[in-house]
Amino acid sequence: MKQFIIACSFFITTFAFGQLRQFEPLLIRDNDAFGVTVSPDGNMLLYTKAYGGRDSLRIFQSRKINNVWQKPELAFFADPKYKQIDPAFSPDGKTILYNSLENKENSFDVFVIHKTKTGWTNPEKLTDAINTSSSDFYATISANKNIYFTRRTKSNDIYVSYFVDNKYQRAQLLDGPINSDMNESNPYISPKEDFIIFFSDKTGGLGDTDLYISFNKNNKWSHPINLGNKINSEVSEFCPNIDVKNQQFLFSRTKVIDGKRVENMFSIPLKDLNLKAMKKLAKW
């Protein structure tokens, strides 16, 4: 009965709010996907296929042709020899960041590919300004090329590497009240760096992990605001992103049921987050 109730809560949460929808359920239907990102032109999507756990992790892609998403397939840059996760397009669509686990420390590193006039470059591991012997993952990039990501040491914390003089500076813990003694992870940085959305498992949330937003004013980050029950539930929300072309907020949910992860991706119109109203509530 408990499993039935949990499963029902997943279903109810999916449809409890009129504008909240499971992301492309006819295209991605196996309850084993998370972390979708959509290219700025709206014609390609990338996501992680998890197969009900964390033992096998692959990045998949779909292209939109004649306004129809095509059957998902392994991403053109993916290497099935390794666990790979967390793809993210840059605001101009000319860069893709993702994570791959292929080092002797058994930790994720951030990789990058760039789009050129002749096609996409080969994957390249970012420098040790960003990657360390710890797991460095879930990287997103602003319009001015600053990279925000998660580093896992004793807990998960959000770091930033600033792009200065055409190179990345050594990553530093993000200043301000965003990081806590608990886990903060999965930062989505807006193109203009005027807000950041991330998850935290700190006390006071609605579920195991909730999504929060912090606003940037004069290079100071506000105290995080919970995105509320339009987004957060009794389970774990993670992997925030924004489909800029279609103005959709994207995120994922995960729950372990009978030893297997049930994971799906969701979308809600960005306007329904009421970001202007939330910013008025922000405190520095």
CATH number, position 155: 2.115.10.20
Q: State the DSSP code for 32.
A: B
Domain of residue 227: give its range.
2-281
Residue 164 one-letter amino acid: V
Exposure pattern of 33-49 as b/e (b: 16+ CB <10 Å)?
bbbbbbbbeeebbbbbb
pTM exceeds cut of 0.85:
yes
Position 15 scores a pLDDT of 35
pLDDT given for residue 16 in this prediction:
38
Instruction: Give pLDDT, residue 5.
Output: 35
pLDDT at 73: 98
Residues 6 or more apart whose CB falls under 8 angstroms from that of 66 comprise none
d(CA 122, CA 128) in angstroms, rounded, equals 19
Long-range contacts of 66-69 (CB under 8 A, 24+ apart): 69/24, 69/27, 69/45
Q: Which residues contact 196 (CB under 8 A, 6 or more apart)?
A: 148, 158, 178, 187, 188, 189, 190, 213, 214, 216, 221
Spatial separation of the C-alpha atoms in residues 32 and 254, rounded to whole Å? 9
Give the residue among 171, 170, 197 at the shortest CA–CA distance from 186.
197
State the amino acid at position 103 in one-letter form: N
53 Cβ neighbours under 8 A, 6+ residues apart: 260, 261
Total number of domains constituting the chain: 1
pLDDT tens for each residue of 233-280: 999 999 999 999 999 999 999 999 999 999 999 999 999 999 999 999
pLDDT for the residue 19: 86
Q: Which residues of the chain have pLDDT under 50?
A: 1-18
Please give the pLDDT value at position 104: 83
